Structure 1
Amino acid sequence: MAMRALFWLVLLFVAAVVIALFGHFDAGHVLIIDDPYRIDVSLNFAIVAIVVAFIVIYVLTRTVRNLWRMPDRVAAYRTRARAAKAHASLRDALANLYAGRFSRAEKAARDAGAFDENQPPAAMIGALAAHRMHEYARRDAWLEQIEDKEWQDARLMASADMRADARDSEGALNALAELEAQGVRRLNAQQIALRAHQQLKHWPEVLKLVKLLEKREAIHPAVALRLRQLSAENLLRDRRHDPVALLACWDSLPLTERQTPRIADLAADLLLQLDRPREARKIVEDALAQQWDARLLRRYADCGGGEALPLIQRAEAWQAEHPDDADLKFTLGRLCLQQQLWGKAQAFLEQALALAGDNDTLKIRAHRALARLHEELGHAGEASTHYRASALAIKLT
């Protein structure tokens, strides 16, 4: 600013010097005749008069034009003021929303929406604030205010997300269906759909969506594993009254699920309840071939179906790889009990007790099995001893 003022001051002095120098050469005159009037002035005066007249006319013209445009300028100023206030309200609404002051955020969003350009984002903020306060009718009213075509994808996605969060699963899926009808397929939409289908217990859809999200690495592996297992378990339980449907469902499951001990144990249990021991036995044997598991070993002892000898032979073959497995010894003892091989049953059960270590649950079961064995043999004293030992092994907390 100082340099600019200095420049104009120097320029003014230069102009004054130039005018003073040329003012000495006043050799000309300007003569204006309008009969009967005659005006005779020097050339310098005429030049100065023309310049002054130009400046006066210019100033008057600018003044008149500014006065004429004053209403438009006032209107433009008011519009700018409203826009500035609306933008400030939009910033306040966003800050209050993430600060957890939802009532203030909704009020600020209402103020921000007074400016047309801010209406869609303000409505989104207001809808989310109302949703956080569980005011779902107000939330929907906010969303209905969004009419801009460029904001429809955002409106539908936000609606689906908030409805799924409020456990309005049908509403969430309807919003996603409308979004998909417009040709929009996004990762976030699949994540919202997974939550909605899980709430509705649409287990086939849950399985399909988990696979898609796993391929895109959009879900944690532990969460994906749990959801796959949960889906498989519920699909099997839904068919627990029909052995044909149950087996068909089992065959349709991915191999990774069928090899999971928890799911294999459930499938075998459901088949045993439907008096299908052969199929249950095959499921347990296939799962044990992939992953050795004590739960499956205990289930294997129930798969004899009145003929335990083949199971005993298979279990004895497993001893080569697992010679000191207490659960395997217990399973062999139970199978021998079913086959009435009393001596072998007692030997296996006593070996299971010796190898049980800190496994109190296995100790209780082994003592009870030995007690039943001695009851069958008529040894009341030994049976009482084992019943007492099983009771003492129970830890009360």
Structure 2
Amino acid sequence: MAIRGLLWLALLFVIAVVFALAGRFDTGQVLLVYPPYRVDISLNLFIVALVVVFIVLYAATRIIRNIWRMPQRVAAYRARSRVVKAQAALRDAIGNLYAGRFSRAEKAARDSLAHDANRGAAGLIAANAAHRMHEYARRDEWLAKIDAPDWQDARLMATADMRADGRDADGALAALLEIQSQGGRRIHAQQIALRAQQQLKNWGEVLKLVKTLEKREAIHPAVAVRLRQLAAENLLRDRRHNADALLELWNSLSPAERHSPRLADLAAELLVTLNRPQDARKIVEEGLAQNWDARLLRRYPDTAGGGDALPLIQKAEGWQKERPDDADLMFTLGRLCLHQQLWGKAQAFLEAALKLADNEPLKIRSHRALARLHEQLGDAAKASEHYRESALAMNVV
């Protein structure tokens, strides 16, 4: 700015010098006659007078114009001031919201409404702050004030998210349904829908949403595995009175889910209860073929039902050749031999399981099984001894 001023000053000096040099050679005169007056002045003076008059008139015109427009300028200044304050209040609202000062955030958002363009953003911030303070009625009032068409998607998404967070699953799904009716399919909407369906225990929908989110890599793999198992467990329990429906659901599950020891154990338990031991046995054997697990081994003797356990014993003895030191397998063989009333083999397997057991629960089960075995053989002393050992092991646990 200083350099520009110096340049203008130099230019004015140059112009003055030019006019001064030009005036030395000008001998012209200007005659002004207004009877009975007569004025005779030099041309140079006349030109200077014209310039001065122009400058005075221009300045007077500007002054009058500025005075005339003063109310408008004051109104514009006040409007700009309100906008600046409203924008500052909106920034404060965002900062207070993420700082956890929800009451201040809501107040700042209310102050930012002095500028109409802030209505959508301020409404979302204030609704979020009210939601965090569990003021759900006030939250809904703020959301209802967001009426701009461009902000409707944001309003509906925020409504669904906050309602799901507030355990209002039906309200969340209603908002998501409205978004979908407008042609929107977003990952975040599916994540909110997953939370809402979990709350409503719609496990079929939960399973579908988990698979969709997995494909889009929008859910952690460990969380997806847990939710798939939880959904499948509850779907199996919902069909605990209908063996055919349960098997139909089991066959519809993915291989990873069917090979889960937890799910296979649950499905086998429900089928045994429904007097379908053969189907339960098939599930357990398939599960053990994929994942060798103690739970499935403990469930295996139950799949004999009231029938012949010799095929199961032969199958388990085949496993024993591959795993001669597996305590849980020894315990399973002992139970199967008890079922088949093979007392000698049952005692040998159970005592081997007791010797190999590396955890107290298995020792307790082995002692109890041996106690029942000796009761069947009429040896009350040994039965009492094993009951006592199981009780002592329970106290340790």
TM-score range, shorter chain: over 0.9
Q: Secondary structure at the match of 1:219?
A: coil
Task: Give the Cα–Cα distance (whole angstroms) in 1 for the partners of residues 249 and 10 of structure 2.
Answer: 96
Task: Give the Cα–Cα distance (whole angstroms) in 1 for the partners of residues 30 and 62 of structure 2.
Answer: 30
2:327 counterpart residue number: 326
1:250 equivalent to 2:250? Answer: yes
Q: Secondary structure at the match of 2:305?
A: coil
1:355 equivalent to 2:356? Answer: yes
2:5 counterpart residue number: 5
1:135 equivalent to 2:131? Answer: no
Task: Give the Cα–Cα distance (whole angstroms) in 2 for the partners of residues 81 and 380 of structure 1.
Answer: 97
Pick which of 228-237 and 305-314 moved more: 305-314
1:378 counterpart residue number: 378
Pick which of 329-338 and 7-16 moved more: 7-16
1:151-300 to structure 2, matched below 5 A, reads: 151-300=151-300
Task: Give the Cα–Cα distance (whole angstroms) in 1 for the partners of residues 20 and 217 of structure 2.
Answer: 85
Contact 1:349 1:369 in 2 (8 A): yes
Contact 1:29 1:40 in 2 (8 A): yes
Task: Give the Cα–Cα distance (whole angstroms) in 1 for the partners of residues 181 and 256 of structure 2.
Answer: 34
Q: Secondary structure at the match of 1:38?
A: strand
Pick which of 104-113 and 310-319 moved more: 310-319
Task: Give the Cα–Cα distance (whole angstroms) in 1 for the partners of residues 245 and 5 of structure 2.
Answer: 94
Q: CA deviation at 1:261?
A: 0.5
Q: Secondary structure at the match of 2:32?
A: strand
Task: Give the Cα–Cα distance (whole angstroms) in 2 for the partners of residues 314 and 182 of structure 1.
Answer: 59
One-letter code of the match for 1:175? A
Q: CA deviation at 1:34?
A: 4.6
One-letter code of the match for 1:345? A
- After superposition, give the CA deviation of every residue in 1:349-379 in whole Å (9 maximum; x if it has no partner): 11111211x2111111111111111111111
Task: Give the Cα–Cα distance (whole angstroms) in 2 for the partners of residues 12 and 221 of structure 1.
Answer: 78
Q: Secondary structure at the match of 1:264?
A: helix
- After superposition, give the CA deviation of every residue in 1:205-228 in whole Å (9 maximum; x if it has no partner): 000000011111111111000000
One-letter code of the match for 2:332? T
Task: Give the Cα–Cα distance (whole angstroms) in 2 for the partners of residues 264 and 20 of structure 1.
Answer: 110
Tell me the TM-score normalised to structure 2 length.
0.97
Q: CA RMSD in A?
A: 1.4
- After superposition, give the CA deviation of every residue in 1:267-311 in whole Å (9 maximum; x if it has no partner): 111111112111111111111111111100000011111221111
2:392 counterpart residue number: 392
- After superposition, give the CA deviation of every residue in 1:314-372 in whole Å (9 maximum; x if it has no partner): 1111112212111111101101011111111111111111211x211111111111111
In the TM superposition, structure 1's runs of 4+ consecutive aligned residues that sit over 4 Å from their partners are 34-37
Q: Secondary structure at the match of 2:303?
A: coil
Task: Give the Cα–Cα distance (whole angstroms) in 1 for the partners of residues 242 and 9 of structure 2.
Answer: 103
Percent identity, aligned pairs only, is 70
Contact 1:113 1:120 in 2 (8 A): no
1:98-109 to structure 2, matched below 5 A, reads: 98-109=98-109
Q: CA deviation at 1:40?
A: 2.1
Q: CA deviation at 1:36?
A: 4.8
Task: Give the Cα–Cα distance (whole angstroms) in 1 for the partners of residues 55 and 9 of structure 2.
Answer: 20
Q: Secondary structure at the match of 2:217?
A: coil
1:150 counterpart residue number: 150
Q: Secondary structure at the match of 1:301?
A: helix
Task: Give the Cα–Cα distance (whole angstroms) in 2 for the partners of residues 317 and 76 of structure 1.
Answer: 93
Contact 1:268 1:279 in 2 (8 A): yes
2:316 counterpart residue number: 315
Is there any run of 5+ residues in structure 1 with no aligned partner, and where? none
Q: CA deviation at 1:8?
A: 3.4
Task: Give the Cα–Cα distance (whole angstroms) in 2 for the partners of residues 262 and 82 of structure 1.
Answer: 63
Task: Give the Cα–Cα distance (whole angstroms) in 2 for the partners of residues 329 and 396 of structure 1.
Answer: 23
Q: CA deviation at 1:396?
A: 3.9
1:54-133 to structure 2, matched below 5 A, reads: 54-133=54-133
Q: Secondary structure at the match of 1:394?
A: helix
Q: CA deviation at 1:242?
A: 1.7
Q: CA deviation at 1:48?
A: 0.7
One-letter code of the match for 1:341? L
Task: Give the Cα–Cα distance (whole angstroms) in 1 for the partners of residues 22 and 305 of structure 2.
Answer: 130
1:345 counterpart residue number: 346
Task: Give the Cα–Cα distance (whole angstroms) in 2 for the partners of residues 28 and 16 of structure 1.
Answer: 19
Tell me the TM-score normalised to structure 1 length.
0.97
1:335 equivalent to 2:336? Answer: yes
One-letter code of the match for 2:129? A
One-letter code of the match for 1:144? A
Is there any run of 5+ residues in structure 2 with no aligned partner, and where? none
Q: Secondary structure at the match of 2:39?
A: strand
Pick which of 153-162 and 14-23 moved more: 14-23
Pick which of 68-77 and 138-147 moved more: 68-77
Q: CA deviation at 1:37?
A: 4.4
Q: Secondary structure at the match of 1:302?
A: helix
